[in-house]
Structure 1
Amino acid sequence: MSKNKIAKYDSNTNDREVSEQVSYDTDHSSKLQIHEEELDISKKWIKTGEVSIHKEVFTEEKTITVPVIHEELIIEKKVLDAENSDQKGGHTEIIRIPISEERIEVIKHPTVLENVEIYKRQFQETRSVTETLKKEKVHIETTGNPEVIDKNKEK
């Protein structure tokens, strides 16, 4: 029985490195592992951006015309004839008449102008991914005239 070195395949680096010496019997059979890469597809969510939404308050001046009423005092003097005069001399009377007007009172109150609905929706699309994969093949090299039988070709 002889000891020979065999190449070990490292799938993490896709490299071969010579491993420790492995014993195998040269008079019988040995096994060689053939590797190939396969794709494992996974998906993950990543942040592609952000939208900031805020309300802005601005002012505008608004002029409204409002009709208002006010009272005015009118004094009319009428000349009376001397016969109908009931006037007593020296007596003073005071008459008070209230005068009024409408004043404009402004009251501001908020009203709903519109509702803004904000939501996200998802769209599904199909994308193609192309990768180069490594695959090992067995090549047989001979020196001299050994008899080699390939059982895979006989089928």
Structure 2
Amino acid sequence: MIDQTHVEALYDCDVIDKRGEKIGSVKQIWLEDGTGKPMWAEVHTGLFGMRQSFVPIQQGEVAGGGITVPVSKEQVKDAPSVHTDDNRMSDEEQEALYRHYGMIPHAKTGEHDRIDGRQDRKRAAAQDGAGMRDGAGMRGGKRDDAAEVTLSEEKLDVGTRNVETGRVRLVKHTVTEQRNITVPVTHEEVRVVREPARGEAGEAFADEQAEVTLHREEPVVQKRTEAVERVRLEKEAVTEQRDVKGQVRKERVEVERDDEPRGRR
């Protein structure tokens, strides 16, 4: 159980959910008006700690430099937004937080019970509202009579810029290669055919000649030019993940007491 003795130790400590997953780090503790009991932790979550969420810490346990709370990381992520410009939390905002986390505040105290899932939800919400109206006002962890310092820290702002990485061009040139093509060709040949004579014979015992003309095919090569393919360059954007590292500074605060010996500070 967390009480006022833990408040100073809770700032900047890690908040762990019921499954052991880190939720974020504590940036402010919210106390109950009148009793001063720690009620809620304002936790910075997200990749760069830019989101603020409220986590119930009444039933939390402090150990090993962190605080373990009986809620899940998903519940904290989906918690209602709370406006704290005047360092105050309204009853309506508290009621929304209790309802979101499934808790019933006891009347006139900031303590709460978990809502049994088998109970009637309407009755639980009604008890929640009654408890909030009976004086469960909230305020930030800074007391009216307390001194304060402002802590600053550096953040990494990561962006991108466009730089030229190189050029790609298409170059066309001519090459000569040998092609072998087989073409069928035809030629004529002569053969002697003998057969018995019929009818009248020619002039007997006189010299005579007869001839035929022979032909053949020869391969003829001609060249023609035709377009066979179009080649072009196109650009496309490809997104990849890059890790960016950088050193940042942050301020811490220590509490010193003048009424304690120097060796115990």
TM-score, normalized by length of structure 1? 0.39
- Higher fraction of strand: 2
Query: Larger relative contact order (C-alpha < 8 A, sep ≥ 6)?
Result: 1
Higher helix share: 2
Normalised to the residue count of structure 2, the TM-score between the two structures is: 0.26
- Give the number of the structure whose alpha-carbon radius of gyration is greater: 1
